[in-house]
Amino acid sequence: MGTTEPYGDGLYDAGPYGALSQGVYVGALDALVALLADDLPDIRVTRDPSAAVAPCVLVGFPTSFGFTQGGRLMSVPVVLLHSPPADLSALNWLLDGVEALAFTLGSTAGVVVGPSQVGALTYPSVTMTAEITVPLKGL
Query: Per-residue pLDDT tens for 4-42?
Result: 333 343 333 444 444 444 577 888 899 999 999 999 889
> Which pLDDT score, from 0 to 100, does residue 2 have?
34
**Does 45 or 22 have the greater pLDDT score?**
45
> Which pLDDT score, from 0 to 100, does residue 106 have?
82
Give φ, ψ of 87 to 5 degrees. Answer: -100, -175
Separation of alpha carbons 99 and 105, rounded Å: 10
Q: What is the DSSP string of 102-132?
A: HHHHT--TT-EEEEEEETTEEEEEEEEEEEE
**Does 19 or 48 have the greater pLDDT score?**
48
> Which pLDDT score, from 0 to 100, does residue 120 have?
87
At 84-117, the pLDDT tens digits run 998 999 999 999 988 888 888 887 667 888 889 9
Q: What is the pTM of this model?
A: 0.77
If you average pLDDT over residues 48-73, what whole number do you get? 88
> Which pLDDT score, from 0 to 100, does residue 14 have?
42
> Which pLDDT score, from 0 to 100, does residue 109 have?
64
Domains and CATH numbers, the chain: 4-135 (3.30.70)
First to last CA, the chain: 18
Question: Is pLDDT above 80 for 137?
Answer: no
**Does 13 or 74 have the greater pLDDT score?**
74
Question: Is pLDDT above 80 for 70?
Answer: no
Task: Return the exposure string of 43-59: e unless at least 16 CB atoms fall within 10 Å of the residue's CB, then b.
Answer: bebbbeeeebebbbbbb
Ramachandran bin of 114, using left for φ above 0, alpha for ψ from -120 to 50, beta for the remaining angles: left
